[in-house]
Every structure is written in C-alpha cells, then in structure tokens.
Amino acid sequence: MAKRELLEKILADAEARAREIKSEAKAKADSLRVAAEEERAALVEGVRKVAAASHPDTLKRARSMAELEGRKIALSRKQEVIAKAYDGAIDAILSDSRYEALLVKMIVSAAEEGDSVLFAASDHGRIDLQKVVAAASKKVAGLTVDKEKGAFRGGIVLRGKSCDKNLTLELELESLRSSGQIKYETLFD
C-alpha cells in the first residue's frame, strides 16, 4: 500500500503543481492582456491627437489641391479656346484676298538671292505660286519654287544655301501671340 500511497501523493502533488502553474499562467496572460490593451489605447489616443492636430492642415492641403486642379482645368479650356481662335485666324488669313500679297511680303522680307520657296501643300493648286515668286523676284533675284509641298497650313519656308527660314503662318501667329499682337490683320500691314 505504501506504493499506492506514494503514487497518490505524487499524483496529488503533480495536480496541485499543475493548478498552480495554470493559475500563474492565467495571471500572467491576464497581466499581458491588460498591458496590451493599455498600449493599444495609448496608441489610438496618440493617433487621434495627431489626426486632430493635422486636420486643419489636411483640409487646407485638400482645398489647395482642389483649387489647383480647378485652375488646371480652366487653363486647359482656355488653351483649347485659344487654339481654336488661332486655327480660325489661320483660316481667315488663308481665305483673305490679300494672302498672295502677304506671301510676297514674307518672301521679300527674309529671302536671299538663290533661295528656294517652299509653299504649304494647301497652297499648291490654290494660288499661282510662280506669280508670287515672280513678284518677289523683282526685289530678290534668283528665287525658285521648291518642288516639295510643305507640311504646314500656310505661309512659306525659305530654303537657303546656309540656312532655312521658317515663315509659316503657325510660327508667325505664335510670334504675334507671344508679343501680345493678336489680330491677324497685323500680318498684312
């Protein structure tokens, strides 16, 4: 019986020790859970404070970004309107009865002896290119009509021995635009 009592005593001690370990583990787990909850609460409160402090700045940045985006959209619309206006100006110049005279003035203003005059593809067959060059040749000798057709809407490019001169309507209007002179009639003066 002594053996049995010894086994029961060992078993009872083991069960008591297991309950003790279980109780200590539960207490430690509860303590860790409380500490984790306190840390979480502190972090949440810190985030709330940072958010509350930065809220006005966040709103200010959001407003600024919205205003900037609005200005970008407005600028884009203005650029579309300006582009249409310049396209309309080119159309008006091309359909003006003084267009050939304008081409002669452009040639005379920048041509050098022996230059070749490149006309816009749209001018071929629409105006008398030889007549324009002949009129300009009264002031500048040795001008010829270039056989190629220019990939621009109107105006000319003078092809010279040392350099080419771009006198296309697109470039001339852009030049007027940047100088503040917007009316297409100023080209004819």
Task: Give Cα separations from 78 to 71, 81, 85, 92, 98 (angstroms).
Answer: 10, 5, 10, 21, 30
CATH number of this structure's domain 97-187, picked from the four choices 3.30.56.10, 3.40.50.300, 3.30.2320.30, 3.30.465.10: 3.30.2320.30
* Residue boundaries of the structural domains of the chain: 1-95, 97-187
Count of CB atoms within 10 A of residue 156's CB? Answer: 29
Count of CB atoms within 10 A of residue 125's CB? Answer: 9
Please report, in tens digits, the pLDDT of each residue of the chain (189 residues total).
566 676 667 667 667 776 787 788 788 878 888 887 888 888 888 777 777 776 777 778 878 887 888 888 888 888 887 788 788 888 888 888 888 888 888 888 888 888 899 999 988 888 888 888 888 888 888 888 889 999 999 999 999 888 999 999 888 888 877 776 655 444 455
pLDDT, tens digit (0-9, with 9 covering 90-100), for 74-99: 888 888 877 887 888 888 888 888 88
pTM beyond 0.75? no
